[in-house]
């Protein structure tokens, strides 16, 4: 069980905005005091660069920095912390893979497979790569209930080099059966490399990369109570060692000569330049916060609040509201994207904002999916550990005002 009153007290934003109904955690989550204080600790007590100094402040910063890598490694059950690469966000992690892995293994005539429900960051890089080298980009479709429809004999072949898919759709909320998909894909083509966008999964459910079977997963700190500017790329060591560096410069270098250079082993090979030190150090506090609550408890709370919200919306607005994605609450995350009557999503979001309810309107960086759904945009409400039934009621009351205002 989650003690919501106790949890909400850990988020300073609710002290400053006590009536806030924040329903946009899919875009970015709120930050607890422990994370904010850790950032301040770094800048006030040992604000120095990492790996470069032998004086105490630099050594302290380096220890704290690498401790975050170890915390992440254990959190997702990686083989070793060296498999954890820091980036700026999940988007950069995916672009790193398209550049450092994709451009190494994809050739003319090869195939890359993704899905129609992807965020642009797990669609466009593969689209661009395929066009550059003459590969074929295959896109897995969905059915009317928001589930992937995979015709395995057609989708995966011996020419398929990469399968890139999301764990949880940031629009539909669909939780894809990634483990089963990985098994099926590798049965057809054992050499296929599977990349999972887990940005909407890692914050909400327990992830075990050893059990999942994928070769790479990516996620972002800011969607799981951590600071912005920090992304994670986890990859199997054998692939990380074979991949090209993504950027060149400070700290990723082993030796530099006039005619050639050599590079450090992963993960540092992919971490050129000064990173977001304070933010990375603070990220471990977010993970500790989540672990203290318990990922099973977080998922259970998410299901209850999402189920409650869906039922309240349908009971209140009936046929005038259309909710996209799976009907089974076990098959979806804490995301509800919807259309209301013929009202424009941006008008809905503006009226909700005027009433202290924060949602997102648009195509949510998933334009191909919205084209497939035959809608230009949707309204998205998303839930996390600090949301309760009062937030849902504020959403419902706000939508009633939308009806009165726009009809």
Catalytic residues: 365
Backbone torsions φ then ψ of 167, nearest 5 degrees:
-80, -45
C-alpha 210/C-alpha 93 separation (Å) is 19
Task: Tell me if 124 sits within 8 A of 132, measured CB to CB.
Answer: no
Beta strand 216-220 with 193-197 is parallel
Could you tell me the CA-to-CA distances from 46 to 265, 283, 286, 327, 352 in Å, in that order?
27, 16, 20, 50, 43
CB 61 within 8 A of CB 46: yes
SS3 assignment for the chain: CCCHHHHHHCCHHHHHCCCCEECECCCCCCCCHHHHHHHHHHHHHCCCCCCCCCCHHHHHHHHHHHHHHHHHHHHCCCCCHHHEEEECCHHHHHHHHHHHHHHHHCCCCCEEEEECCCCHHHCHHHHHHHHHHCCEEEEEEECCCCCEECCHHHHCCCCEEEEEEECECCCCCEECCHHHHHHHHHHHCCCCEEEEECCCCCCCCCCCHHHHCCCEEEEEHHHCCCCCCCEEEEECHHHHHHCCCCCCCCCCEEEECCCCEEECCCCHHHCCCCCCHHHHHHHHHHHHHHHHHCHHHHHHHHHHHHHHHHHHHHHHHHHHEEEECCCCHHHECCEEEEEECCCCHHHHHHHHHHCCEECEEECCCCHHHHHHHCCCCEEEEECCCCCCHHHHHHHHHHHHHHHHHHC
Q: How far apart are alpha carbons 315 and 307 in whole angstroms?
A: 12
Cα separation, 108 vs 105, in Å, equals 10
């Amino acid at each position: 069980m989650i003690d919501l009153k106790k949890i909400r007290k850990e988020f300073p934003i609710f002290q400053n905005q006590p009536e806030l109904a924040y329903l946009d955690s899919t875009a970015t989550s709120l930050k607890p005091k422990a994370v904010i204080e850790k950032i301040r600790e770094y800048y006030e007590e040992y604000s120095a660069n990492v790996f470069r100094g032998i004086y105490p402040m630099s050594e302290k910063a380096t220890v704290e920095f690498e401790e975050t890598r170890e915390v992440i490694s254990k959190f997702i059950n990686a083989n070793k912390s060296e498999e954890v690469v820091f980036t700026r966000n999940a988007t950069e992690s995916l672009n790193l893979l398209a550049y450092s892995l994709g451009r190494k293994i994809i050739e003319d005539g090869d195939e890359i497979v993704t899905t129609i429900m992807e965020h642009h960051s797990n669609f466009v890089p593969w689209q661009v790569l395929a066009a550059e080298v003459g590969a074929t980009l295959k896109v897995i479709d969905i059915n009317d209930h928001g589930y992937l429809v995979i015709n395995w004999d057609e989708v995966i072949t011996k020419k398929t080099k990469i399968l890139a898919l999301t764990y949880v759709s940031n629009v539909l909320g669909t939780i894809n059966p990634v483990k089963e998909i990985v098994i099926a894909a590798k049965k057809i083509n054992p050499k296929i490399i599977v990349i999972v966008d887990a940005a909407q999964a890692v914050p909400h459910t327990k992830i075990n990369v050893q059990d999942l079977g994928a070769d790479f997963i990516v996620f972002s700190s800011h969607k799981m109570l951590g600071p912005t500017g920090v992304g994670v790329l986890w990859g199997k060591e054998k692939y990380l060692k074979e991949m090209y560096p993504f950027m060149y410069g400070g700290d990723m270098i082993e030796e530099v000569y006039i005619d050639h250079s050599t590079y450090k082993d992963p993960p540092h090979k992919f971490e050129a330049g000064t990173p977001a030190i304070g933010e990375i150090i603070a990220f471990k506090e977010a993970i500790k916060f989540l672990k203290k609550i318990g990922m099973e408890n977080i998922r259970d709370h998410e299901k209850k609040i999402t189920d409650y919200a869906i039922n309240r919306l349908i009971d209140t607005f009936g046929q005038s509201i259309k909710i996209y994605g799976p009907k089974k609450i076990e098959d979806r995350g804490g995301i509800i994207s919807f259309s209301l009557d013929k009202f424009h999503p941006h008008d809905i979001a503006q009226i909700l904002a005027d009433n202290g309810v924060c949602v997102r309107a648009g195509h949510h960086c998933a334009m191909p999916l919205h084209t497939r759904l035959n809608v230009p945009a949707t309204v998205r409400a998303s839930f996390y550990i600090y949301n309760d039934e009062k937030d849902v009621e504020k959403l419902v009351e706000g939508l009633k005002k939308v009806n009165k205002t726009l009809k």
